[in-house]
Structure 1
Amino acid sequence: MAAGTTRQIAHFDLDAFFVSVERLKNAALNGKPLIVGGSGGRGVVTAASYEARRFGVHSAMPMKLARRLCPEALVISGDMESYSHYSRLVTEIISDRVPVFEKASIDEFYLDLTGMDRHFGCRSFTDELKQTITGETGLPISWALATNKLISKVATNEVKPNGQLEVPSGGEKRFLAPLTIQKMPGIGKETGQLLLRMGVETVRTLSEIPMLMMFNLLGKTGIELSRKANGIDESPVIPYHDQKSISTEQTFSSDTIDLKFLHSRLVRMTESIGFELRKQNRLTGCITVKLRYANFDTVTKQRTIAYTALDHTLLQQATQLFEQLYDRRLLVRLLGIRFTHLIPGNQQISLFDDSTAQVRLYQAVDSIKNRFGENLLQRAGGSFAERLEEKKSR
């Protein structure tokens, strides 16, 4: 970017995305309070329509509480395959028109339009893109245009649903000033309560606190919040095509036709990179299984899947690919698995049919793995391969 060039960053956010997709599939749901999530007694809210949000319903809330707050709401278990399909449609539309964009999650995008105003207005382009997305997919979407990612995201949240807003260069602090601190990204529940006890209720007040005081209060986080409160954010738009894969493969100490061993090795490898996926707070939308036979012929098979980071879903898909790929007449030399089409997100997004207990189980297992190493906990099928390999190497 040339010196002195003002950045132009647009943030696009699909309005109540899961709800909007469900309404595309069933127009009778339009205008009604709708909750997407686990329908069981211990289920979790994954998404809520704006009609349900007026009653205090929000994502990650226990379904029992959501039903008490909004007893008239319709509850749908959710369809991750449909949501992934529409997410990819929107991604393709943006990719065809914008050279540099970041897919921040399944339903939001950052577009770097810097320099585009020399050819045509960025606001006109952004508005035209919104109309194209809605026209081609039927999904409502909101956008905001500003000089950085922070301002554009906060502004989008202010104009949803189905809104648009441009915050001009130089107007960042003025835009943020009257907002409550809870609307500032990076301020969680505990930090928010601490600031409120200090009498800091608006971003304007937060911006007036000396940076040294913020550092003494919250360390490096305090410095970052001070910069944000003053409208400063230099984080780049990370090009979507630069998202890396997560993969692993193993060449065996001896070629094998032992199906039980191959299956258990697949379990162990899938668990390992599934754990890495969750550590990076990402979801995968594509799985590839790779086999190399004793004659060095190498074959792969891949499948586009609903975005997920959950081991049991990843294992099911990987096993099906392996079964389609494996030629039982040949010895196997190498086995590999790769996750691609990565986007930011967490396992909560896939838990439409899972209970809060299962959510906590994944969190507990990952916590133990982070603390003591990922080999401490693993499925029995995966540990079989470890023992067999050790025996062969003796």
Structure 2
Amino acid sequence: MKLHIDFDSYFVNAQRLLNKELCNTPCVIYAGSDEDFFNQDAKYIDNKIAFMSSIEVIRSENKVIDYRHFTAIAVSYEAKKYGVKVGDKLNIAYQKCPNLKIARSNIRFYKELSFKVRQFLESKIPVIEQFSIDEFFGDLEGFKKDAEVLDYAKYLQKELLDKFGLPASIGINNSKWGAKFLTDLAKPFGIRMEYDLSNAIKGIDIKNFAGIGREIQKYLRAYGVNTLDELLQKEYLLDKYGKNGKKIIARIKGVDNEKVEETKDIKSHAISKSFKPISDYDELRRRVKILARYLCVWISKHKYHPKKIEISIKYGNKLEHIGIEIMQPFDEKNLIDNAVKGFEILMKNTKNVSVYYIGIAANNLDKTYCENIFQNTTKNQKLNETLSAIRDKFGISCIKYGG
């Protein structure tokens, strides 16, 4: 059997370990507008959670809170009862819940706690896969009999609460993704085990199953398919999505046979920041270059070659993005130039807009590049290593490219 462990309101409950006044009361964890990130030199912090950002800045602790722009990134169950949601600006959250308590996020602490939890779970479960900062898959095959799994999950849930003060929900199924689906049904602080998913999926909206994104949702709803059981009655609708469509159907049926993997190849890495709306084109362009430079630091440290980058911006209620193919081994200046190029294309058809979010993702990451086409791979690698060493000593921003 496979299980999926997901910590309930992880950022909230982790923060409660630092501030007991947040316990048993409506509260949110908020993130600021990241102005510090663009005005101070950042540091590369060796991160033990591979998919989490390793770039950090020293934050200004005494900054006045701008309730119009600071955003709730985690919401306690007590606050959810008032209608407070992740993504709400603090002024909106206070309108919904006047007695709300707030706390600024402490991402480094959340990462360190997550790493300790992983070490604990590795001592209790033969095969562990960390799926996010607060989610883990486990494979108990050959370790526990099916009849013993439910009791063992109860034991793990109690241990996690006693040792770390973190409530968790657990889903159990023969399918990895079936277990994840059941975890959502078990929340908060519950456990749900099913051998057959056919009853569990009845009446469940398609948006609540991992892998069914907005595009597919829109497509299915156009054909009157709104729930998972309705989708299985018309599974042929996903034929147009090829292998991905077949994968989704297998996951819903609980027959995906996907393995719990201790280590997974990283195929993408992104960096993004939100800030107060800005219409100054030159300042936005500067911020694109800063984000691209910090993304390059991560790529260089891990010796990857991205084959595509994606640049995203948000303004008003719109999200615009563009992908650009990278046709050569990783080169910092080339990636930054392409990021700026993508930004300029996105901004070309907009007039006097105020952008409040920029994101840059490096996709299709690979450890090698075709040597017989590009003969300068070794030269680029040595240059990247030299730049990395200089930045380790003098700071990331000590090297910048003009233009």
2:199 aligned counterpart, secondary structure: helix
Q: d(CA) in 2 for partners of 1:81 and 1:367?
A: 23
1:87 maps to what in 2?
Answer: 114
2:200 aligned counterpart, secondary structure: helix
The answer on whether the counterparts of 2:29 and 2:75 sit within 8 Å (CA) in structure 1 is: yes
1:194 maps to what in 2?
Answer: 219
2:123 aligned counterpart, secondary structure: helix
Structure 1 residues 196 and 20: CA distance shift in structure 2, 3 A: same
What is the 5 A alignment of 1:178-189?
178-189=203-214
Structure 1 residues 186 and 61: CA distance shift in structure 2, 3 A: farther
1:315 maps to what in 2?
Answer: none
1:272 maps to what in 2?
Answer: 296
Q: What is the letter of the counterpart of residue 296 of structure 2?
A: S
Shift of 1:78: 1.5
Residue in structure 2 matching 1:111, options 129, 138, 147 = 138
2:399 aligned counterpart, secondary structure: helix
Q: What is the letter of the counterpart of residue 200 of structure 1?
A: V
Q: d(CA) in 2 for partners of 1:156 and 1:93?
A: 20
Structure 1 residues 61 and 238: CA distance shift in structure 2, 3 A: farther
1:14 maps to what in 2?
Answer: 7
Structure 1 residues 45 and 359: CA distance shift in structure 2, 3 A: farther
2:184 aligned counterpart, secondary structure: helix
Name structure 2 gaps, 5 residues minimum: 32-64, 269-290, 305-353, 366-395
Shift of 1:61: 4.0
Higher normalized contact order (CA 8 Å, seq sep 6+, divided by chain length): 1
Shift of 1:91: 1.3
Task: Out of 159-168 and 34-43, give the one that drifted further.
Answer: 34-43
The answer on whether the counterparts of 1:12 and 1:141 sit within 8 Å (CA) in structure 2 is: yes
The answer on whether the counterparts of 2:161 and 2:168 sit within 8 Å (CA) in structure 1 is: yes
2:251 maps to what in 1?
Answer: 228
Q: What is the letter of the counterpart of residue 19 of structure 1?
A: V
2:76 maps to what in 1?
Answer: 49
Q: d(CA) in 1 for partners of 2:216 and 2:300?
A: 28
Shift of 1:271: 4.2
Structure 1 residues 31 and 276: CA distance shift in structure 2, 3 A: farther
The answer on whether the counterparts of 2:247 and 2:256 sit within 8 Å (CA) in structure 1 is: no
Residue 382 in structure 1 maps to residue 399 in structure 2? yes
Q: What is the letter of the counterpart of residue 86 of structure 1?
A: L
2:21 maps to what in 1?
Answer: 28
Structure 1 residues 92 and 29: CA distance shift in structure 2, 3 A: same
Shift of 1:367: 8.1
Residue 97 in structure 1 maps to residue 97 in structure 2? no
Q: d(CA) in 1 for partners of 2:104 and 2:224?
A: 42
C-alpha distance after superposition, 1:4-38 (max 9, x if no partner): xxxx1011111111111222233332221111112
Q: d(CA) in 1 for partners of 2:265 and 2:246?
A: 28
Q: What is the letter of the counterpart of residue 214 of structure 1?
A: L
Residue 166 in structure 1 maps to residue 163 in structure 2? no
Structure 1 residues 175 and 127: CA distance shift in structure 2, 3 A: same
Q: d(CA) in 2 for partners of 1:64 and 1:101?
A: 40
Q: d(CA) in 2 for partners of 1:276 and 1:119?
A: 45
Structure 1 residues 234 and 118: CA distance shift in structure 2, 3 A: closer
Q: d(CA) in 2 for partners of 1:119 and 1:151?
A: 16
What is the 5 A alignment of 1:53-92?
53-92=80-119
Structure 1 residues 60 and 207: CA distance shift in structure 2, 3 A: same
Residue 176 in structure 1 maps to residue 201 in structure 2? yes
Structure 1 residues 239 and 204: CA distance shift in structure 2, 3 A: same
Q: d(CA) in 2 for partners of 1:103 and 1:9?
A: 14
Q: What is the letter of the counterpart of residue 236 of structure 1?
A: K
2:239 maps to what in 1?
Answer: 215
Rg bigger for which structure? Answer: 1
The answer on whether the counterparts of 2:126 and 2:143 sit within 8 Å (CA) in structure 1 is: no
Shift of 1:134: 1.1
The answer on whether the counterparts of 1:36 and 1:46 sit within 8 Å (CA) in structure 2 is: yes
Structure 1 residues 118 and 157: CA distance shift in structure 2, 3 A: closer
Structure 1 residues 210 and 109: CA distance shift in structure 2, 3 A: closer
Q: d(CA) in 2 for partners of 1:167 and 1:55?
A: 32
Q: What is the letter of the counterpart of residue 256 of structure 2?
A: D
Q: Percent of aligned pairs with the same residue?
A: 23
Q: Which protein has the bigger helix share?
A: 1
Structure 1 residues 359 and 99: CA distance shift in structure 2, 3 A: farther
The answer on whether the counterparts of 1:206 and 1:229 sit within 8 Å (CA) in structure 2 is: no
Alignment size in residue pairs: 269
Q: d(CA) in 2 for partners of 1:189 and 1:205?
A: 17
Structure 1 residues 270 and 239: CA distance shift in structure 2, 3 A: same
Structure 1 residues 138 and 243: CA distance shift in structure 2, 3 A: farther
The answer on whether the counterparts of 1:142 and 1:163 sit within 8 Å (CA) in structure 2 is: yes
Shift of 1:79: 1.5
The answer on whether the counterparts of 1:10 and 1:143 sit within 8 Å (CA) in structure 2 is: yes
1:360 maps to what in 2?
Answer: 357
Residue 138 in structure 1 maps to residue 165 in structure 2? yes
Name structure 1 gaps, 5 residues minimum: 1-7, 247-266, 281-356, 371-378, 388-394
Residue 237 in structure 1 maps to residue 257 in structure 2? no
Q: d(CA) in 2 for partners of 1:179 and 1:187?
A: 13
Structure 1 residues 183 and 273: CA distance shift in structure 2, 3 A: same
What is the 5 A alignment of 1:187-336?
187-211=212-236, 213-216=237-240, 218-240=241-263, 271-274=295-298
